[in-house]
Structure 1
Amino acid sequence: MGKKLDRYMARRTWKAAQYLLLLSYYSIDISLRPVLAGSVAPLPSVNSTPAAKSSPLTYTIVQNGPEVPPTTNISAPSGKIELDAQQQEFDNNTQIITASGKVVVRFNKALLTADRLRVNLLTKIATADGSVTLVRGKQILYGTQFEYNFEDDLGSIVEARGDIYQPTLVRDLNLVSPASVPTPAGEKPFTEILLSDRLRNDQPVTNIRNPGSVGINTSERDIDFQPTLRPTGGTVTRLRFQADKVDFTGDRVIAEKIRITNDPFSPPELQVKADRAEFKTINSEEDEILTRNARITVENSFDIPLSPIFRDRVLINRLGKSPNPFNFGFDGQDRGGFFIENAFYPVFDPRFKLTITPQYFVQRAVTGLSFFDPASFGVKTNIEGNLSPNTTLLASAALAGLNFDKISDNFRGQVAVRQNLNLFEYPHVFTAEASYRQRVFNGSLRDQNIQSSIGAVLASPYIPVGNTGASFNYQLGAQAINANTDRQNLLGANRTNDLVSLNRYQASANLGKSFKLWEGQGLPPNQKETYNYSPTPVIPYLQLNTGIQGAINSYSNGENQPVIGYYVGIQGQFGNFSKQTFDYTGFNLTYFQQFRGTSSPFLFDRIVDNRILSAGINQQISGPFRLGIQSSINLDSGQQISTDYYLEYSRRTYNVILRYNPALQLGSIGFRLNDFNWDGITPSF
C-alpha cells in the first residue's frame, strides 16, 4: 500500500536521528580522542539546515480504499516521502494516520521500518514502535519506540542502539536532495537496496574486516631497521552504541545509560559507559559533552573511571583538537625520563594548525632538581599547513629545559615543505627541509646529532618490476651539513668542538622480492573464537625475503662513501592464536651484508656495521599474553646493536605492549585500538 506524505515530517524525523548519531560519535571521543586526534572529519552543524518554502501536506490513499482529499491544515517544506504498510487507516475527523504490518517509510535517502506507525496531523506527533529501524546510507539506528514532535522539535527513542560508519557520516547526514549526493564507486544506489524484510531479520555479523588501528605510545623513538613495536596514527571508522533512552530537543541530545564500543561481538571486550551523556553544539567548530560517571569497561568485568582524567565536561573541536587535560611520555635522554604535557591551539583550522605544548619533566624534578627549577620545564611546538592540495608545510621545535644558559644544548628544530609529484606515472615526494640538532641512530655508533642541515630529497614509492613480483625504490638528495667528525685533517687547531661543515650528495636504491614458501589454513571467519586474541584471522605461513641495495654519498671535500649490500631472511608464523596456550609463534631471521668503499667523514652516516644478523620471536604463553624479543648484532665485532624485550597483551579490540631496550635505555608502554568493519546487524550488548 503506497501513500505520499510531505517532506516536512521527513526532514524533522531524520534530524532527530542525526542528533543521536552525533551524540554516539562524540561520546566515544571522551576516551579515545588522544588516539583519534587529527583523524576526525569536520561535521556539519545540526542546526544548519535552511528553512524550506512551505506548502500544504498532501495525503492520498491509492489502493484498497477511496481517495481522501488532500488536507491543508499544516505547512511543510516541499518534497514527498513514501509510506508502505500491509494495513493503513486515515481518520479525517481526528486527522490521524495509522499504519501497521511491515511499515516502510522512504524519505530523503533514508528509510524507516516499524511494526506500527501513527501520525497525528493536529498535534504534529509521530510515533513508531515495534522493532523500529532507521537507515541512512551506512548509518543504522534501532529502537523499540520512536516518538517525535515535528513542530516543537522534541522527541525520544527507547532502547536505542545502532551502528556508525564514520567515513561516510558527513555524506549520509547531508540533507540535500538525493540526486545531488553522488554514490561512491562500487556502492549500490539507495533505490536498489532491499530495505524491508532484510532489515527485520537478525542477519548475523559477517565479513568482519580490520582496516587499521589507532595507537598511543609513551616513547617517540624507534630503530629504523627493526620492525616497529609501537602503534601510531590511524582512525576508528565503525562504532556501535546502545542506550536505555535518548531524549532530544532542538539543540541538544541526552542519553541515559549509554554504551559505545568498536567490538562487533557481544559482550564487548572494551566499551565506554556513562550513566548520562549530554551533547550540545556550541558553535560551528565546537561541541560540548557533559557526562556523569563515565568509565571504560574492560572484558565486561572491571571499570576504569574516566572523569578524573577526561573531566565531566569536554569541549570537542571538530578539526581534531585533543580534549585531554594532559598527556604523558618518556624520553630518557633529552627530558630525563617521565614527563607530562598539555597542548594548546592558538591557530587551528583545516588549512593551518599551530600547537604549543608546555611540558613538565617529572622524573628530572624528582630525582635531581627542585620542582620549580627552570630545567624541569620545557615546551614544544608543531606547525602543519596545507599550502596547496599537493604542498604541505611541516615544522616542529622543542626546548628540553627553560634554563636559557643552555638553550643551544636543549633546543631541537626542523622545518620541511613536501611537494607531491607525479613522475613516470608514479607518485613521488619532493621534500625541502632544514634542521637543527637532529638526532639520528647509527647502529653500533649509537645516537649521533646533526648540528644543522639544509637541503632537499626526492623519494620514490615502491615501483613494481614488470610481472616479476619484485619492486624497487630510490632516493636522491643534496644537503649542506654541519655535524661531528673524527677526521683531524678537517678540524682546525684551535677548535672548540668536533663539528665540520660539508655538502653531501646522495643517491640510493633498493630492489627486493619475497617468496611465499608455505601457507597453512586459517580458522573459519565470522566465528567469535577466530578473533579471541587477534583482530584478523591468523593464517600460518613461511616466507623468504631477498633484496639488494646500494648507495653513494659524495662530499664537498672530495671524499665518497660507496656501499652495496644484500639481505636474505625468512619470516613466518605458526598456529592460529585462538587456543588458550602455545597456539602462536611468530619469528624472523635476517642476514644483511654490505661492502663499503671509503668511509664518510661524518659519524652520523658512516657505515660501520658490515655484517648484521637480526632475529626476533613472538610467543604466546597463555591466553592473550605474548613474550617477544627482537635483536640485532654486529657479527664482525660481536657488539649488540639494539635489543627490544616486550610483553604483549593482545585482544581482538585492543592491544597493550610493554617495551624495554637496555642498549638504548628506553622504555615505553603502547596501546592500540583496533578498527573493524562488518556486514549484518550487530547484536545487543
Structure 2
Amino acid sequence: MPYPVPPPEPPPLVQTLPNSSLQTSQPQTILPATELSSGILSNPQIHQNETIGYQLPKLKTLEQELGSSSSSLVTADSLGPALSLNIANTPTPETPLQTSQRQTPSQPNPEEETPIPVILPTDLVEVTADRQEFDQQRQVVTAEGNVMIRFQNALIDADKAQVNLNTRQVVATGQVALTRENQVIRGDRMDYNLVKETGAIANASGVISTNQLGENQVAEPLQEQGVGPVVRAPISDRITSSQPVENVVPTEGADVEVTGFSFPDLQGDVNRLRFEADRIDILPNGEWEAQGVRITNDPFSPPELELRADTARLRRISRFQDELLTTGSRLVFDQNFALPLFRDRTVIDRRQREPTPFSVGYDLDDLGGYYVEWNVNPVRFGPIGLDISPQFLVQRAFEDDLGPTDGGFYGLQAQLSGPLSPQTFVDSRLSITNFEDFPDLEEDEYRASIRVRQLINGYTLTGEYSYRDRIFNGTLGFRTIHRSGGAVLTSPEILLGDSGAVFRFQGGLQQIEARTDRLDILNEPGRDNDRITRTRFQGLATLIYPPVIWQGEALPATPTEGLKYTPRPVVPFVRLVLQAQGVTNIYTEDDSQSYLSGTVGLQGQFGNFSRDFFDYTGFNLLYTQVALDGESPFLFDRRVDESILTFGLVQQIYGGLRAGFEYSINLENGLAVDNEFTLEYSRRTYGVILRISPVRRIGSFNLRISDFNWTGGSEPFSGIKE
C-alpha cells in the first residue's frame, strides 16, 4: 500500500515561539506569517501556566467562521479537576473568558497501563501549557512548554503545539506522545486530526499492549494423572514454573515485571511489544501503518530479538486480537542473524503461535517419522480462527519412494477455535495422516474432535465429542479412543488456607467406544473387531502440597544478570513434593476401576543461569505408589503402572545452551513408563529447543518467544538497523 508523503513542516507560528517570552510579564505577541506580512492583527489572547478548555466551533463555511467574533474558551476552573472532568453543562460560545493561574501539573506518563480517565465533551478541547496564545479570529491555539492536549479519550504531549479549532487539526513538535486507550506512540513531529483520529508521526516509537482476555486450552476430559497428553512442557519449563513467586524489581534500565509463563506445546504468550518506525500513519480505531518498522518483545536495548519489516500495519480484527500485516519481514537475532519470514500476517493475542513459517516434528505412529509442517496464515471468522497446517511426511516419502504427486506424501492439521462469548469457548480439531484415497479415507487415516467449554462461577463445564482421539498411557503406550462423547465438570484450584496446599476435583459422564483385551468380551459371538462401547462415570480429586525446604535469591532483572539467558530470573530452591489423587471409574455392564495414588519427592534448581559455565542445574526425583481396586475394560485408561520412579536433570553447558533428560520407570517390571531428552538454546527473549521421546516415539524442534510486562521509559532500540 503506498504511503502519503511525510507531513509538512510545522507553520512558523509553532517554530518561532521565543523562549524569552516565558520569563516576561508582558509576553511578546506571536503572529502568523500571513499577518506579519499584511500588518493586520488578530487580537491574540495570551495565558501562562493555565489549563483552558476550548469549545470547537460548529462546522461552517470558512467565510462564516472568519466572520464570527464569539469567544470559544472556558477555564479549567469551570471544567473541574484536570484529570477528572465532570461537566454538567457544556459552555456556549458566549461564555466570557476567565483566567486563573495554575500550578504546573506533573507530566503524566503515557506508558501507564490504565486508560486515560479524561473523557471530555465531544466539542471541547483542553489545553495545558506553560504559555498558550489564542487567536480568536482565526480560532488557532498556540502552546509552548509542557503542552498537554486532551480531546475525548486522546492525550497529546509535546514541547510545542498548534491547534486549529476550525479544522480540528493539531501540529506538535518536540518529544511528542499520543496516547489512545492503552496504546502510546511517540515521535519528533506529529500532524493529527482530533475528530477523524488520523494523522502521521515522524521518527515514531511506542508500545503495543494486547492485554486481552486469554483463550485457555479446552480441558481434556479423558485425561487423568498417569494418562498424559501427547505433548508436555519440557522439564526445564516445568521446574522453573514451580519456583517460588518473586516480585522482580530491577536496578537499572526499564522497570521490568516479568509475567507468569505457560508453554503448552512450546508456544509463548506475547502481550506487550515496543516498536520504532521511520514514519507512522495513524488510522482510526487504534490502527496504524508504518514504514521501516522494528518490533521487539525485549524491554532492553539493543534488543535480542526483533521483527523487522519494510512496511507494517496493525489492525484490530476482534475484541481479543490484533492483526499485524507486514512486507519484507524477517526475524533478527542478537543484531546479527536474520531469518526471512515468508508469511506476512501475524495475529497478536494470548494464543501467539510459533512465528516461523515451518516447524519440524517426529511422529512414528501416525506420520511415519520425521515431517515438516507449514504454518499457513489463519483465516478469521470474527473471533473464531481457522488454522490449517499442511504436513510434508519426509521420512515416509523417503522409505516408501513417494513423490510430490502421491497422496501419502502429505498430512494435515486443522483447528477451528475461539470464543463464542466471554464465558464460552470452542475448540475443534482435524488431523489427516494420509491423502492417498482422499476423500474416501480409511478410519485410521484421520482424527477429529470438538470441545465446548463454559465457565460457570469459576467452574468449567466441558462438552466434547471425539473420533479416534489418541491418549498416552504409560507402559501400555498410545491408545486410541475410537469414539467418545459426554461432559465433564472441573473445579478451580482451591487453596487450603495459608498452607500452600491446592485441592481440585472433577466429575464426568461419557459414552466411550474403545479397544479391549478382555477375552470374556471378545469371545462373544458376532464380533468383528476388538472394540466395546460403555458409559463411564468418573470422579477425580487431587491434593498437592509443595512446601519449600530452601530458597535462594534471584539476581536483579537486568540484561546482564537475572535476565541474561532466561525470561524469568531464576530463584534457586529445593521443594518437597507431596501429592495424593483418588480416581473412581464406574462403567456399565458392572465394571469399575478405583485407585488411590501417592507421590513424594524433591524438585529444585541451583544457580542463577547468569554466568557462562555450569550456572544452572535443575532436577526432580519422584516416587509414586498406587493402590488399585478393579480393572477397566478399556486399555486407554487401565491403570497398570503401580510403582513408578521418576528422575530428571537439566544442566547448563555453556552460555544459553542446556541439555536435559527425564526418565520414568516401572519398578515392578523394569519397563520405561516415559522418557524425554532435550537440547535447548535459551535467551531472554527467545529459545530454540529440540525434544525427543523414544518411548512415545515423537519429537519436535520449536522456537519459543517470551512475554514481558514493564513500566517506565522505553529506551531507543539502537544497535544495527540493517
TM-score, normalised to structure 1, is 0.73
Among residues 133, 149, 159, which one is paired with 2:177 in the alignment?
133
One-letter amino acid matched to 1:62? T
Paired residue secondary structure (2:442):
helix
1:381-425 superposed Cα distances (whole Å, 9 cap, x missing partner): 544476666454443333322334651121222233434344xxx
Paired residue secondary structure (1:530):
coil
Among residues 235, 238, 243, which one is paired with 2:272 in the alignment?
238
Matches within 5 A, 1:447-466: 447-466=478-497
C-alpha separation in 2, matches of 1:670 and 1:356: 18
C-alpha separation in 2, matches of 1:287 and 1:340: 24
Paired residue secondary structure (1:334):
helix
Deviation, structure 1 residue 162:
1.4
Among residues 618, 621, 635, which one is paired with 1:589 in the alignment?
621
C-alpha separation in 2, matches of 1:280 and 1:138: 15
Match of 1:267 in 2: 302
1:232-273 superposed Cα distances (whole Å, 9 cap, x missing partner): 3x6322111112333458899553322111111111111112
Match of 2:111 in 1: none
C-alpha separation in 1, matches of 2:454 and 2:331: 42
Among residues 193, 210, 213, which one is paired with 2:258 in the alignment?
210
* Structure whose alpha-carbon radius of gyration is higher: 2
Deviation, structure 1 residue 61:
7.6
Distance 1:80 1:546, change over 3 A: same
Distance 1:358 1:266, change over 3 A: closer
Among residues 432, 437, 458, which one is paired with 1:399 in the alignment?
432
Match of 1:517 in 2: 549
**Worse-superposed segment, 239-248 or 533-542:** 239-248
2:567 aligned with 1:535: yes
Unpaired stretches in structure 1, ≥5 consecutive residues: 12-52, 65-76, 170-202, 216-227
Match of 2:646 in 1: 614
2:706 aligned with 1:674: yes
1:104-145 superposed Cα distances (whole Å, 9 cap, x missing partner): 323324332322223466887643222223334443222222
Distance 1:458 1:536, change over 3 A: same
C-alpha separation in 1, matches of 2:649 and 2:492: 29
C-alpha separation in 2, matches of 1:552 and 1:243: 59
C-alpha separation in 1, matches of 2:351 and 2:607: 40
TM-score, normalised to structure 2, is 0.70
C-alpha separation in 1, matches of 2:708 and 2:627: 45
C-alpha separation in 2, matches of 1:509 and 1:151: 57
C-alpha separation in 2, matches of 1:531 and 1:569: 29
Match of 1:115 in 2: 159
Deviation, structure 1 residue 430:
3.0
Is 2:586–2:592's contact at 8 Å kept on the other side of the alignment?
yes
Is 1:214–1:236's contact at 8 Å kept on the other side of the alignment?
no
Is 2:254–2:711's contact at 8 Å kept on the other side of the alignment?
yes
One-letter amino acid matched to 1:611? S
Paired residue secondary structure (1:131):
strand
2:444 aligned with 1:409: yes
2:127 aligned with 1:83: yes
Deviation, structure 1 residue 517:
0.5
C-alpha separation in 1, matches of 2:271 and 2:647: 35
One-letter amino acid matched to 1:545? V
Deviation, structure 1 residue 629:
0.8
C-alpha separation in 2, matches of 1:139 and 1:304: 28
Is 1:271–1:298's contact at 8 Å kept on the other side of the alignment?
yes
**Worse-superposed segment, 583-592 or 457-466:** 457-466
One-letter amino acid matched to 2:292? K
Aligned alpha-carbon RMSD (Å): 4.1
Is 1:475–1:509's contact at 8 Å kept on the other side of the alignment?
yes
One-letter amino acid matched to 1:443? G
Match of 2:676 in 1: 644
Is 1:418–1:429's contact at 8 Å kept on the other side of the alignment?
yes
Match of 2:72 in 1: none
2:406 aligned with 1:373: yes
1:538-591 superposed Cα distances (whole Å, 9 cap, x missing partner): 111111011222223333343332322211011111111111211111111101
Match of 2:540 in 1: 508
Is 1:310–1:323's contact at 8 Å kept on the other side of the alignment?
no
Among residues 489, 503, 511, which one is paired with 1:480 in the alignment?
511
Match of 1:577 in 2: 609
Deviation, structure 1 residue 480:
3.1
2:382 aligned with 1:349: yes
C-alpha separation in 1, matches of 2:353 and 2:682: 26
One-letter amino acid matched to 1:2? E
Distance 1:551 1:370, change over 3 A: same
One-letter amino acid matched to 1:410? E
Matches within 5 A, 1:51-450: 62=99, 79-90=123-134, 97-119=141-163, 126-148=170-192, 155-167=199-211, 205-212=253-260, 230-232=265-267, 235-247=269-281, 254-277=289-312, 291-306=326-341, 309-311=342-344, 314=345, 328=359, 330=361, 331-336=363-368, 337-341=370-374, 348-350=381-383, 359-368=391-400, 369-384=402-417, 390-404=423-437, 407-422=442-457, 427-450=458-481
C-alpha separation in 2, matches of 1:558 and 1:490: 13
C-alpha separation in 2, matches of 1:466 and 1:5: 53
One-letter amino acid matched to 2:52? K
C-alpha separation in 1, matches of 2:365 and 2:355: 26
One-letter amino acid matched to 2:200? S
Number of equivalent positions: 576
Unpaired stretches in structure 2, ≥5 consecutive residues: 1-48, 60-89, 102-120, 214-250, 718-722
C-alpha separation in 2, matches of 1:636 and 1:512: 25
Deviation, structure 1 residue 632:
0.7
Paired residue secondary structure (2:367):
coil
C-alpha separation in 1, matches of 2:144 and 2:664: 70
Distance 1:342 1:147, change over 3 A: closer
C-alpha separation in 2, matches of 1:298 and 1:107: 40
Identity over the aligned pairs, expressed in percent?
39
Is 2:360–2:702's contact at 8 Å kept on the other side of the alignment?
no
C-alpha separation in 2, matches of 1:356 and 1:305: 21
C-alpha separation in 2, matches of 1:89 and 1:238: 39
Match of 2:84 in 1: none
Paired residue secondary structure (1:597):
strand
Match of 1:34 in 2: none
C-alpha separation in 2, matches of 1:283 and 1:548: 42
C-alpha separation in 2, matches of 1:557 and 1:121: 81
C-alpha separation in 1, matches of 2:606 and 2:349: 44
C-alpha separation in 1, matches of 2:428 and 2:699: 26
Deviation, structure 1 residue 438:
1.8
2:697 aligned with 1:665: yes
C-alpha separation in 2, matches of 1:276 and 1:255: 6
C-alpha separation in 2, matches of 1:138 and 1:250: 14
C-alpha separation in 1, matches of 2:477 and 2:318: 50
Is 1:214–1:672's contact at 8 Å kept on the other side of the alignment?
no
Is 1:552–1:563's contact at 8 Å kept on the other side of the alignment?
yes
One-letter amino acid matched to 1:428? Y
**Worse-superposed segment, 623-632 or 476-485:** 476-485
Match of 2:502 in 1: 471
